[in-house]
Structure 1
Amino acid sequence: KAYITKVNGSGPFRKRILEMGFVRGEEVRSILNAPLKDPIKYEIMEYEVSLRRSEAVMVEISVLESDAHVRTDDDGMLTEEELSQNGYHPAYSHNGNNNGFHNPEKNIRVAMIGNPNAGKTSIFNLASGAHEHVGNYSGVTVNSKEGTLTHNGYTFTLTDLPGTYSLSAYTPEELFVRKHILEERPDVIINVVSASALERNLYLTTELIDLEVPVVIALNMYDELEQSGRTFDHRTFSELINTPMVPTVGKRGEGVPQLLEEVIAVYRQKEYKYVQIPYGRVPEKSIGIMMRELAETTAALWKIPLRYISIKLLEGDKEVERQIRQLPEQEKIMARRDKERTYMEKLLREDPESAFTNARYGFIAGGLKETLSEKTQFADSTKLIDTLVTHKYLGFPLFFVFLWVMFEATFRLGGYPMAAIDWMVEQLGNLVRGNMAEGPLKDLVVDGIIGGVGGVIVFLPNIVILYLFIAFMEDSGYMARAAFIMDKVMHRIGLHGKSFIPLIMGFGCNVPAIMATRTIESRSSRMITMFIVPFMSCSARLPVYILFVSAFFPSSGSLILLGLYAFGILIAALTARLFRDTLFKEDETPFVMELPPYRMPTLKSVTTHMWDRSRQYLQKMGGPILIGSIIIWFLGYFP
């Protein structure tokens, strides 16, 4: 283990790892290497994350904890009088409509926000009765989903937003979430927090506090915190941040009714009290100066707190800068901002971005120190499983064995119900043939409609089995490990391990796989992945493969089927390398990905995901194939 002293570099990558907890003074442990020695898995703030060696060297560390604390010229907090002059108040109230968020009607618009893997979509599904995909890896929700429910006389319109670590503009998802809050202006925000990784998850909460929006915190997966032997005084912490916190277990629905009651209580409040995060003497002074500067401009007319705008300007947020540059006073504002950034860097001996991030984590750590019992060892089961599935020699064989079992089950087990369905379709055709008068209508029904629909339904068992395995990989957390061990291989074709997740999803259906590429930060890597996803043999092609394999290679069908899929992967790899060398010449994409703890998928979650995807297959393929069958029948019947 070691302690972080400094994070070098600049740009989005540095911003991301700062937000994920790589801040000065934080303890970090190296856990294990991927089978090809790159990337490396680290433990920080009680969760695991993977970094490439080329990126890990940007983080300076020391084995001595004392070296991680750098002396600055920030000699504490401003006095109470100075704070008041700068517009800072530890806790203050807003009366009336709360910047447009309050609505006296009994229709509550709720936005659900949280980190990836926090269980946000599980709560959304249970509360709204929807069946959105739940997965144990980042990037499951790639756009917003909406659902409605009625509780205690109130109608809730729930919006499930993409998982995000912060409200910066680092990824399309983060920008989308921030725009939704500021433009759609939900009445209440449910901030879903993983109770097993509080320090990291509450970083997003501090940004919501700066944004001054009505928030209710769902302490999800609270059972995991209790099973670890830890205790959390959430009532005391709730008082510290003036925000209600409700323990929940999303997968079982525990605490969801109480969560909805808290949402109603917050919604009905006519006066909201917000806590302001104390950033220290130097940052607070610069924030106050920027607030006074903005108050004299048209930015004061925006329905956004001036304190939030000031902080984002000092942090160097590109999206806020873009909006400020559209104002007539932009030169004056940006000149003052640059002057304050220089002032902060000189006195703090670190850039403002790091200063604000450190202060947020410092505020969180201070609150948790008084309310959360000492941390225990990371889940032993996760470490034990990872020593096998990411082992130097066993990692790849186990992965390919899993793929072989998946295709073997798809081909062999799917063959039995496939034969039964084929027989039933044939009997239905014979029944209709024997009871209808001769003519074009009979031929249309038997050969066109029954033959066309039967050609889709007969392969449904194979599709169901394929989706069953993919759902298990996603929900258990193994999908993230597959990306981890495949990173170096993907790196050689100009991509990274995170691109591997959409490619695996492409085996089920290319459409959601292409949508999943939105979680890839680099535009060039995102575009390349989108272009090569169609080379992944999706479920729609599986019936064609099975037809030919059964006809020509009946004794070695599963191996031939695996070979067809492997050939598609090979072509995809060659295409990706070609595109990286020609059309998308850009610096390599950093590989920063959370490795969630393994969780046993629930039968309901896996079967729901399996059936929903299979139903989509029938809907998407049934229509075109039916129409195509009728057209082919028409061309064959009428010469």
Structure 2
Amino acid sequence: MSSIALLGNPNTGKTSLFNTLTSSYEYVGNWAGVTVEKKIGSLKNGAGKLIDLPGIYSLHPLSRDEGVATQYLIEESPEALINIVDASQLERNLLLTLQLLEYGKPTVLGLNMIDVAKARGIAVNHEVLQSRLGITVLPLIARTGKGSGQVLSVLEKASTIPQVTFRLDYGELTEGAIASIVTELKSIPGLPNLRWVALQLMEQNPVVLELLKKRMDISRLMVICDGCQNALQSSKQALTLPQWIRSVRMDYIRSLCAAAMDTTLLKPHNLTERLDSILTHRFLGLPLFIFFMYAMFKTTFDWVGGPLSDLVDGLISGPISTGASSLLQTVGASDFTHALIVDGIIGGVGGVIVFVPQIFILFLMISFLEDSGYMARVCLLMDSTMERMGLNGKAFIPFIIGFGCNVPAIMAARSIEQPKDRMLTTLLMPLMSCSARLPVYLLFAAVFFPAQQATAVLAMYVLGVVFALILCKLFSKHLFKNESSVFIIELPPYRMPQLKTLGRSTWEKGKGFLRKAGTIILAGSVIIWLMSYAGPSGLNVEMDNSFLAKFGGLIAPLLHPLGFGTWQAGSTLVPGFLAKEVVVSTMNIIYHAPDAAGLEGQISQVFTPLSSVSFMAFILLYIPCLATVGVIRKETASWKWTFFSMGYSLVLAYLVSLVIFQGGSLLGLS
């Protein structure tokens, strides 16, 4: 089965086209860095495999995810390439196109976003591009699927896609060096197009250099490159060899765009520029972002999400719970089985499911902001603040993703160019409030801050970001000294997200929560219930004499200075390491709550407003869940950094909760 590689600049619509051509769904966002590793899917027509590679500006990788694309082209041998370019940013996108044409594989050029180009007054003649480049050029609107049928038809027989005949003349000096390098490379088996390898070597592509070092002594090749470099600089060209190669390509691109593009109707100020003048304003931009976040939380937790959660709670505590009890009595189930199913499974899992509507609404609104193009602007707004703290604005993208789940957010940090920024983002990511912590915030906010639920929950999210920035400054100064940071981000055009895309994106974010409800939370609820049902004296014991109470009692003294030194609170924290959602399900089991209102009543008797804030802060900051710990180990490839992330977060959680409770007590707060 043939393999076809899909390549292009960030945010050109590659992943949207991939989803259309393969009937699969990968995360789609209107910002750069969505794809951080290669994705593989089967084409709808069964013609082969389609490989979606990370967005890259050139084959010279700047970041870890860009290296995935270059590594693939060197080590694999795709039968054909699909290069997606943005018709509204053609000149910039064509630099990668020329490098891919030099790779020598049959290539199809997807001219995407022709609707955006047209709206800007740009007309692109795809036939001119096709004639000058010698490859098939297909106009597309990937996000709506327009033109995808033509792409499938062309790919149906990938072997019939014409071979690339494109070749640039880099001048006598450079061409002589290329020929010499190609001669040296002929003895090395398994290399792709030798002229392409020679050019990448002369451009000092680190991935190509590393590959050649493993297979041969490259000292002779470097002598040839140095000779060409010296000859260029002794001539009239005051450019380095990589600069000269790039300048030749750019000259050709400018002439090609002049022939293929008509910009006579180009609009001087399009909608994106007018919106950016307000939303990215030096003084107005950040307050507007805070306002949008507040409105989003208000909608999620007060105006829409709250009533929906009440309906779900009534369904679980009413028909589902009573129906299950009646059925168990009818079939003659034992008291143990009855208690396990009604109190353990329905009570534990149901206590978390109640919050599903609010979680999905939050994901829907975050997806809207992402796909509209606004979130990329937020990264720009945050750059100056984050730079002062030791990071750049691009790290804010994983932070935003972390509001859904820390695991994909840490993986998204691969798109950050500098190793220092990547490591810092990975270590700080657990401080972002993921959806697993949200049920805890919602429960306590409903009990102690009913009139300001949105504000209380937003405060937890802001608190996580604030501590991430403070620790970023500390870690950057003491752990990663003398390492610079560079900020490069693509600002996509604003656009109205499609309902289908929003629905898919929301479902992909939210289904992980539902999956946990059916696996980890279910298993945790059963284990917690069994520990509460049994004790040293046997089964069906009083809760205070259960194994769960004994276990929680060991931790309780340590938590007393924080304001929640009860065995009940202690019993929720350790299983919370498996998944933070288990915290609420554990409380539901411990307090035998028949519904959300019953649990809230029990919580109001055990906690105070001050101790509830202390508890929420502890849940926000203490050890990340097991899945997050696993991905930190994978991404850092270091147990030292993994244990460091677990250790600092636990110490930070304890200190912050201690300050909140003891400081509040000194001020007379309760």
TM-score w.r.t. the length of structure 2 is 0.76
TM-aligned CA deviation for residue 196 of structure 1? 1.1
Aligned match of 2:555: none
Cα distance in 2, alignment partners of residues 185 and 289 from structure 1: 24
Residue identity in the other structure for 1:556 = Q
Cα distance in 1, alignment partners of residues 398 and 263 from structure 2: 38
Aligned match of 2:77: 185
TM-aligned CA deviation for residue 371 of structure 1? 1.8
Aligned match of 2:222: 334
After superposition, give the CA deviation of every residue in 1:541-591 in whole Å (9 maximum; x if it has no partner). 010001011111112221121212221112111211121112222322111
Q: 2:43 aligns with which of 143, 149, 152?
A: 149
Residue identity in the other structure for 1:346 = S
Q: Percent identity?
A: 38
Contact residue 105 and residue 164 of structure 2 kept, 8 A: no
1:541 equivalent in alignment to 2:430: no
Q: 2:305 aligns with which of 411, 414, 425?
A: 414
Q: 2:286 aligns with which of 396, 401, 406?
A: 396
3-state DSSP class of the match of 1:326?
helix
Cα distance in 2, alignment partners of residues 559 and 612 from structure 1: 27
Cα distance in 2, alignment partners of residues 180 and 294 from structure 1: 19
Aligned match of 1:372: 261
After superposition, give the CA deviation of every residue in 1:282-316 in whole Å (9 maximum; x if it has no partner). 32232223323434xx33x3332221122122222
Q: Compared with structure 1, are the counterparts of its residues 445 and 621 closer, same or farther at alpha carbon in structure 2 (3 Å cutoff)?
A: closer
Q: 2:180 aligns with which of 278, 289, 297?
A: 289
Aligned match of 2:129: 237
Cα distance in 1, alignment partners of residues 4 and 193 from structure 2: 20
TM-aligned CA deviation for residue 346 of structure 1? 2.5
Contact residue 369 and residue 375 of structure 2 kept, 8 A: yes
TM-aligned CA deviation for residue 262 of structure 1? 2.0
Contact residue 142 and residue 173 of structure 1 kept, 8 A: yes
Contact residue 456 and residue 618 of structure 1 kept, 8 A: no
Cα distance in 1, alignment partners of residues 291 and 116 from structure 2: 31
* Structure 2, gaps ≥5 residues long: 536-670
Cα distance in 1, alignment partners of residues 231 and 517 from structure 2: 62
Q: Compared with structure 1, are the counterparts of its residues 155 and 302 closer, same or farther at alpha carbon in structure 2 (3 Å cutoff)?
A: closer
Cα distance in 2, alignment partners of residues 268 and 157 from structure 1: 16
3-state DSSP class of the match of 1:595?
coil
* Structure 1, gaps ≥5 residues long: 1-106
Cα distance in 2, alignment partners of residues 132 and 378 from structure 1: 35
3-state DSSP class of the match of 2:163?
strand
Cα distance in 1, alignment partners of residues 39 and 184 from structure 2: 39
After superposition, give the CA deviation of every residue in 1:74-93 in whole Å (9 maximum; x if it has no partner). xxxxxxxxxxxxxxxxxxxx
Aligned match of 2:31: 137
Cα distance in 2, alignment partners of residues 278 and 535 from structure 1: 53
Q: 2:464 aligns with which of 564, 568, 574?
A: 568
Aligned match of 2:502: 606
Aligned match of 1:52: none
Q: Compared with structure 1, are the counterparts of its residues 432 and 264 closer, same or farther at alpha carbon in structure 2 (3 Å cutoff)?
A: closer
Cα distance in 2, alignment partners of residues 150 and 558 from structure 1: 44
Q: Compared with structure 1, are the counterparts of its residues 147 and 273 closer, same or farther at alpha carbon in structure 2 (3 Å cutoff)?
A: closer
1:552 equivalent in alignment to 2:448: yes
Q: Compared with structure 1, are the counterparts of its residues 150 and 559 closer, same or farther at alpha carbon in structure 2 (3 Å cutoff)?
A: closer
Cα distance in 2, alignment partners of residues 355 and 323 from structure 1: 24
1:277 equivalent in alignment to 2:171: no
Cα distance in 2, alignment partners of residues 173 and 344 from structure 1: 33
Q: Compared with structure 1, are the counterparts of its residues 528 and 637 closer, same or farther at alpha carbon in structure 2 (3 Å cutoff)?
A: same
Contact residue 524 and residue 586 of structure 1 kept, 8 A: no
Residue identity in the other structure for 2:11 = N
Contact residue 464 and residue 614 of structure 1 kept, 8 A: yes
Q: 1:359 aligns with which of 248, 265, 269?
A: 248
**Greater CA drift, 510-519 or 428-437:** 428-437
Cα distance in 2, alignment partners of residues 304 and 628 from structure 1: 52
Contact residue 325 and residue 331 of structure 1 kept, 8 A: no
- Name the structure where helix makes up a greater proportion of residues: 2
Contact residue 113 and residue 189 of structure 1 kept, 8 A: yes
**Greater CA drift, 529-538 or 339-348:** 339-348
Residue identity in the other structure for 2:316 = V
Contact residue 495 and residue 588 of structure 1 kept, 8 A: no
TM-aligned CA deviation for residue 327 of structure 1? 4.3
Residue identity in the other structure for 1:389 = L
Equivalence map 1:101-500=2 (5 Å)? 107-151=1-45, 154-268=46-160, 272-295=163-186, 298-299=187-188, 301-347=189-235, 348-374=237-263, 376-377=266-267, 380-412=270-302, 413-427=304-318, 428-437=320-329, 438-500=334-396
- Name the structure where strand makes up a greater proportion of residues: 1
Supply the RMSD in Å over aligned alpha carbons: 1.7
